[in-house]
Amino acid sequence: MTSRPSRTCTVLSNESMGGGNFCLRLEISGEWARSSPGQFVMLSPVAPSQFCFSDPLLPRPMAIYRTDATSSGSGIVIDVAYKVVGRGTALMRAALPGSLMTVVGPLGQGFTKPGDGIGAVLIGGGTGIASLYEHARILSEHCRTVVLLGANTAEMILGRVDFEGLSLELHVATEDGSLGSHGLVTDLLPSTLEEMPCSHVYACGPTSMMREVAAIAARRRIPCDVSIENNMACGIGVCLGCAIPLGEGKGFALVCKDGPVFDCRTLGWEDC
Amino acid sequence: MGRLLMSGTVDAECLMVDFAGLRLRNPVLAASGTFGYGLEMQSYVDLEKIGGFVAKSLTLEPRYGNSPPRIAEVSSGMLNSISLENVGVEAFIRQKLPEVPQEALVIASVFGTEIAHYVEACERLSSEDRVAAIEINASCPHVKSGGIEFGQNAQILGKLVGQVRSSTVGTLLVKLSPNVTDIAEMARVCEAEGADGISVINALQALDVDLKERRSVLWNGLGGLSGPAILPVALRMVWQCFQAVSIPICGIGGISSAEDALKFILCGAQAIQVGTANYLNPCSTEAIVGGLLDYCQENRVGSIQDLVGCLQPPRWKVS
């Protein structure tokens, strides 16, 4: 019955990706349910026996940036890309190779497949890009895939080198103009959709960015998935702490269980 | 091999407890609001290996709950202000209950803003065979008394427990609010009005501030503090209730390990509930059962019930 217990994992590496972003490489031994792109894990930067002494106490929901096979062939390696924004991520930054962490997952609903598979556009901003890499990698093997990435500066574009290694079209926007187009990444979306047949848009980034992407996709009647970030205590649908509004009188959805990926039309954007 | 013993009934007998008319296979229950309706936890916990679970608090009608932000993290704990979002009594009975594995022990939790609502919900739930007991959540504002929590006023609490008692067949537990001057008085009221047991304690009313916004971190302003931070307060209250009443006590408050559970048992709890630790590690309850079994075997404890209330007097009292 118990198919997804919390697991001990070992830190293989914890290196800078540049621009204040880091990549935590974790090896999870034994059986691990295959994740689909867009899913996440709950990560505590301590071993399971220590979790109740951890300060901060709560595990952190983290996007699975990339999955890999282990050198031994059993278990799995997952990469978690992150920026230090508070005490939880500061503890992650302090973790040395060989140290133990606790992970629960993979959790939540990932990205849906593009309808007719003609073409897909992925648009990411800031650390939201971390949710998109695995999806971009898989999509690029099946259909025309355009990736639009944005950040304040060129250095801050998370995983740019990794995306450049995939066979897809990559366009970049920076707010300081240090790379690619000068401005917001959402400015690139209308012209991209003008130029290519697109059956699905996928977005992850700041709320203001996703709201704009949702509006642009809606105008063109293109289905659009957005991946939502929120604070959560459990990640498995029982604390009900990660509720987001579904619009006037429609109640709430849970980011952990109903999401983190949502069809953008289901959300009450005016309240998000 | 050691782990295999966990599933063996013979070796696990030392953990069996009689609690308020219930025969529990072990004293480890999951606390309401941290375990969903049980179904959500099946991927992580074998529901037939823990003592049971208290399902999310139910109201007569479904409820949406508060707007976000609903939770916040504080030192060694968390604040929540979910406002008891739930599917309602009928949907629980029709959709959730039939899906729970047969061997799992289910305790329904009930709350309302008026006594009549509690009474009706308890009547409906206690007619269900699968509901082993009902736990009244008394930490709700009583609308007719201007919003004071039922559990904060001995008279109102007494009236609530008395009326619910007469409409509830089977085991009735009352979950006490810690936001009181004298928890023992509340325990005595519950005993006098016919409660079969008390669950001690619910979350402590609390506030944290977002300095940038100069506002509460929670949409609703105040929230409930839970987690390891409240454990010593809960232990104190369990001990005080144990001195005051003879009905059994279920200890709750920051329990994350078998060691924590044992402290509550020594202070007088016959069973315990694991709450916030389910968020930190969804397998917590089962791990605590394993830890208690190890403790009993290592310390030659024939029955964990022998430890209930065995707290030694403080050193200054020993001549």
Q: Is B76 close to A4, i.e. CB distance below 8 A?
A: no
Give me the tens of pLDDT residue by residue for chain A, a chain 272 residues long: 455 667 899 999 999 999 999 999 999 987 788 889 999 999 999 887 787 777 889 999 999 999 998 887 778 999 999 999 999 999 999 999 999 999 999 999 999 988 777 899 999 999 999 999 999 999 999 999 999 999 999 999 999 999 999 999 999 999 999 999 999 999 999 999 999 999 999 999 999 999 999 999 999 999 999 999 999 999 999 999 999 999 877 889 999 999 999 999 999 877 76
- Closest-CA residue of A relative to B255 is A52
In this complex, is the C-beta atom of A5 within 8 Å of any C-beta atom belonging to chain B?
yes
At residue B65, the pLDDT reads 86
- Token pair, residue B312, equals 């030694």
Report the predicted TM-score, pTM, of the whole model to 2 decimal places: 0.92
Binary contact (A233, B257; C-beta < 8 A): no
Q: Which of B14, B122, B140, B190 is catalytic?
A: B140
In chain B, domain spans: 12-63+84-204+226-317
Contacts A102 to B, Cβ<8 Å = 281
Whole-number pLDDT of residue A48: 79
Q: pLDDT at position A269, please?
A: 79
Residue B250 is a catalytic residue: no
Average pLDDT in chain B: 93
Of chain B, the percentage scoring pLDDT greater than 70 comes to 94
CATH number of B12-63+84-204+226-317: 3.20.20.70
| B80 closest CB neighbour out of A236, A237, A241 | A241
- Band (pLDDT 50/70/90 cuts) for residue B146 is low
ipTM of the complex: 0.90
